Structure 1
């Protein structure tokens, strides 16, 4: 019995009916028979080529395929040669791409946040989910710089960006994946949840980093670590790939890591 793309979509963790969502088939059809599945943070050109070489014809991507969050129509690069080459390869490879963004974030708990907690080996510690974030209480306080080293090591990251007082003791840690590092989410975590350190994917540089800088200047030991959007959310998609593998044991499932394209010069 053939498993179709729609069969796989129907088994993905869902958060009920959402009034507005970017989760959709970006290419292909739900009726295609699935030969193999690739799961990744983003369907980059290189990642799609790797998926095709592995024999996958369904690609589940957390972020958009064509360079912007809302991708109705042709996306941000619709008339660019770059997008056209990418579209032609997707078509020639017979690749169906499904965007899976809102449902995992709206699930209870947030699947993407849970994946990062697991990757950091922090699910075993006391933790709770607070709105769009999570708060972890470590068994004992550690310096912010030591936590930064732990994060880099567990996630195999070449660098982190940091602000605040990294020599201060940190025991209550906030987790805000993706683009949740702005002041609207971050500052209440410091003020109401009393986090000592916040890990975030990314956010406006003039919001939370400046709040943390002022806090440090006032003698408040608060720290802030920016992982990068991909680094913070890829572990959640890896968790998803393992869930899909359990539900469809007869279909090859591949997690494709797509590190950030940004480099430190």
Structure 2
């Protein structure tokens, strides 16, 4: 029998919990774990699905209440937040936020998950704290974009750059790491950045000007969730090994945006 505290101890040793957003959002550490569901975002739909799968612990990478650091108290009068909190209590579903810990792994567990999902482990040249640099077999930007779309089962990807440009050296920046502060210096050593998201007026505009100047540079935005979901799937595999008697489910969120 495992309790929620056992999961906490495995993911967040006592010496690692300072200065982190990680922790139990709702629930009791002494509660017995009957099943675990792992997801990128604890959406209302993911909450209901976790319970339907028999899980009473949901591990979410991102915040439950629409802010990186919020526990929901700043929006406690909001009807959507109230309903979500009330439903969690009604269902008896504990929610554990696990964000910083997996990013602090060496290499970053979320970055590793995306690279493993793409089958690019052997192409990694270097893992940096916030990125990875890969040497791929030469392909055009358009071909890489289509490959990502298929392998990650995405409805679309967005890119800036010449679709006929050949890409060999690639930088990977998951989540909200596609901004200029991280991505532009990396573009000095790679042809292509594959990122989750970032301000559109920073790196994409840099790439647009670089292309106009005749330089071979490009960026692909996968979306925040699609870039980090593979890392949470990887976490589920780790938990299955660590807690073999527990069922560990993966809940993949529906696409956030629609397109016409």
TM-score, scaled to structure 2: 0.96
Match of 1:36 in 2: 35
Match of 1:212 in 2: 207
Match of 1:103 in 2: 101
Residues 65 and 71 of structure 2 are in contact (CA less than 8 Å); yes or no, is this contact kept in structure 1?
no
Establish whether residue 167 from structure 1 lines up as the match of residue 144 from structure 2.
no
- Alignment deviations for residues 149-184 of structure 1 (CA, whole Å, 9 cap, x no partner): 110110000101110122111011110000000000
* The 10-residue stretch of structure 1 (198-207 or 6-15) with the greater mean CA deviation from structure 2: 6-15
After TM superposition, the runs of 4+ consecutive aligned structure 1 residues lying more than 4 A away are 13-16
Aligned positions, number = 260
Q: 1:230, 1:201 → 2: CA distance?
A: 7
Residues 230 and 259 of structure 1 are in contact (CA less than 8 Å); yes or no, is this contact kept in structure 2?
no
Q: 1:166, 1:130 → 2: CA distance?
A: 27
Q: 2:135, 2:12 → 1: CA distance?
A: 27
- Give the SS at the match of 2:58: strand
- Give the SS at the match of 1:206: coil
Q: 1:124, 1:13 → 2: CA distance?
A: 29
- Give the SS at the match of 1:11: helix
Q: 1:205, 1:58 → 2: CA distance?
A: 36
Q: 1:142, 1:237 → 2: CA distance?
A: 28
Match of 2:173 in 1: 176
Which of 68, 88, 91 is the aligned partner of 2:89? 91
Q: 1:222, 1:15 → 2: CA distance?
A: 43
Q: 1:19, 1:49 → 2: CA distance?
A: 31
Stretches of structure 2 that go unaligned for 5 or more consecutive residues are none
Stretches of structure 1 that go unaligned for 5 or more consecutive residues are none
Instruction: Give the CA deviation at 1:11.
Output: 1.4
Q: 1:73, 1:80 → 2: CA distance?
A: 9
Which of 224, 229, 240 is the aligned partner of 1:245? 240
Q: Let me know the Cα RMSD of the aligned residues.
A: 1.5
Matches for 1:17-28 after TM superposition, within 5 Å: 17=16, 19-28=18-27
Residues 15 and 104 of structure 1 are in contact (CA less than 8 Å); yes or no, is this contact kept in structure 2?
no
Establish whether residue 116 from structure 1 lines up as the match of residue 125 from structure 2.
no
TM-score, scaled to structure 1: 0.94
